[in-house]
Structure 1
Amino acid sequence: MHRILRFLFFYISFHINKLINTLSWRNYCYLCYTIKRGCKMKKTIYSVSLSVFFLTLFFAGCNNPSASLSVEDRIATDLAEIQSEADTILEDETTPKEPVLNLITRIEAFIESNRAYLEHENAIEPLENIITLLENFVENISYNNSLENFRQLFGNEIAIPGSGYQEIYTFSIQVKTYADAYGITLEDAEQVMIEYGINPEIVSITMDLINGIITLFDLMVSETGMYTNEEEGIVIGLPLEEDIPADSPITVNGTPTISDDGERVGMEFNAAEDYLMIPADPSNNLITEGTIDIWLKPTTNVAWAGIIHKGSNPDWSDEGYSFQYDGSKKLMLAMTSDSGQLILVRTQTVLPEGIWSHVVVTWNNSEAHIYVDGTDVTDKITKGFSSTEILIADYSPFKSSDGDVIVGTQIPGEPYRFNGVISGITIYN
């Protein structure tokens, strides 16, 4: 009987607290990105907003635990990564970065399963788990293996101060239950902005709220029109499904427009000055290997038209790799060896006009290929425009270029421009 009464007491208390905390949380978080996950879901989201960082966790009292995670980041221009892993530790690990001092080094607290909440009088109530973190914590903090005791020691709201990217540092938080685990990583803001093509002078970024899951892809494209992914080797990703944002590091020339034919969405280049210019970066130099994955729907095939061209000097002095048409409107990859020899990867393929074609151009220090709709259409590799066939291995590595990457033409100011729609550009290193 005593056990039944005890269970009813906790059951009623839990639902009262659930109602109260739900209302207070809605008033408290005026701007947030929220993920709701089922017990077996494993997803990844990334979010960026403005000012002090809050981590709000809710653990539902059910046999198969589920979790709702809400992140409000009010420190300017940092990046939050949320992903699932399996364990039962809440952990914070910090890597100090100059010029910040006195950083968090490590925080640990044990989180019991939801079933244990009703059996452990000091365990945290399922909907009271609101924890934010403060710099200057001592190393290796733990307190009786109870998150409730952890909160009693440090309180519910401990802010991380910051007024610009100089004060933002790297740390990670992992919150784990038996069913799911969520890790949050905030990276050094200045480095993040540099890596993803955002001007480091910008110290605040805002974006419209997005319903549902926000991915790093969504975030970067919404802010810059472009994305990268170091783990997958993507140095330039251009979906070209929306207009390039006005404050993007990508320079938009002319008036390219978004085109949707019901099959694919892409950017149409049809005027004399339509092209994009992506700033030079060591990651897109590609002197030993690279891959260009692209969808093309030419309106009219134009002799010598550039599609993806590394280099922007009018005298071609900074030309690296160039995926383009040749004089017969056939697809071709042009590269320059480190010694200055022009190398051409040639095909006999003229793309059909008015139809989408999936083209992949790939090379390394021993071979090069051009694929159209999955078929290798490479004809030969020659020294310049001669008929002399050569081996790539004899001319690698290729010329290093500090020129910008041009989409839709070869050299700005020249007439060699692509006429049609381009979609889904991905350049790998």
Structure 2
Amino acid sequence: MNAVVIAVILMLALSLLRVHVVLALTVSAIVGGLLGGINFSETVTIFTEGLGENAEIAFSYALLGAFAVGLSKTGLPTFLVTHLQNWMQKSGDTDRQTLTRMLLFLMLLVVACMSQNLIPIHIAFIPILIPPILTILNKLEVDRRLVACILTFGLTAPYMLLPYGFGQLFHRIISDNMAASGLPIDMGLIPGAMLLPTASSLLGLLFAVFITYRQKRSYNDLPIASDSGEEDEQSYRKSSIILAVVAVIVTVGVQWIYPDSMVPAALAGVTVLLLTGAIRFNQADQVVTEGMKMMAFIGFVMLAAAGFADVIRATGDIEQLVNSVAGVINGNQVIAVFLMMTVGLIITVGIGSSFSTIPIITALFVPLGIEVGLSTLAIISIIGSAGAIGDAGAPASDSTLGSTAGLNADGQHNHIWDTCVPTFLHLTIPLFIVGCITALIL
């Protein structure tokens, strides 16, 4: 059997059995390499060399964690949470709590969507915003699996549809790789081709909000992992809040100027907090250390995912998998679309990155789509959908990892069962179904 398929299935099975995702990725990479004809020593070498591919991302997350902890020291999250708590305490009736829940969900959704397009800071807002509001979520008895769906939707759907921020990068990758594969396109066609697939994720999110997770769920009020246990003496000072807002604006501005890396933006934010005195210099070491602890989980998983991706690419079985799909299609468009979406799902769930999946599948999906008579819009839709399909639900996706990092700050949210499984069921499955239908009707 194909080594890529076995490696991905093994990784998912181990993760579902609550084996730590880093160990699951490492073991699965070694098994996949051995099954792909690579000896153990070479497999380990490829895996370890591949770790460096996501080193910048891991370092970025460490700095973003430091920036998040620094902002918490200024009292900005406490300021926001206090006002939200005051809103809740004005009335304890059910209607007020329901309204508060809806407003909270809307706020999280808007912020998550903005983090991809309008203010492209990606998951950097999660460790800043989510841990401080866990107590509010607990009081409202909100099921955190629903919050995971909201955050993951906001981190994935906007870049699929809108050509701004990370969306511009995603659309550019699709356009450039399709041109390199012999089918040049106008980037303006991509939003139209991705409209229905993106709408399917919205329907899945609404299903989660109003049906699956509308029941209340109880959590204990526990201290968050990065909490030092000391009350921040600047929590309610107006000057510290202003400095925090200035740091956020500078961070966003630098991210706009240097969109290819999060390092300058995170570093700029930390520097502003230090230079303005929002963080005392004797606190700098503690802030950076706490930030690295907060984001270490994501960093290590991203490193392991890069090594895993390099090993399964080195087996050559990705091309074999897609070529096998071509061999059984026999000109049938329905079978072709279904199998292409399945291949995209397997690869993206395994690699954990929709952006990295696009170059892998485009070179083979373009000629395959042309051969079975799919239109240009249909090919764009199938590539965009198949590339993004595993981002929500993949254990190694930064979208799911970011959600877990915030929601598990007090140790009551499991990455696989509380983030990956719910987002897979409500976002990935609808995208798979509607993605297939869209490619057939365009």
Task: Give the alignment's TM-score, normalised by structure 2.
Answer: 0.23
Looking at CA atoms only, which structure, 1 or 2, has the larger radius of gyration? 1
Task: Give the alignment's TM-score, normalised by structure 1.
Answer: 0.24
- Relative to its length, the structure with more helix (as a share) is 2
Larger RCO: Structure 1 or Structure 2 (Cα < 8 Å, ≥ 6 residues apart)? 2
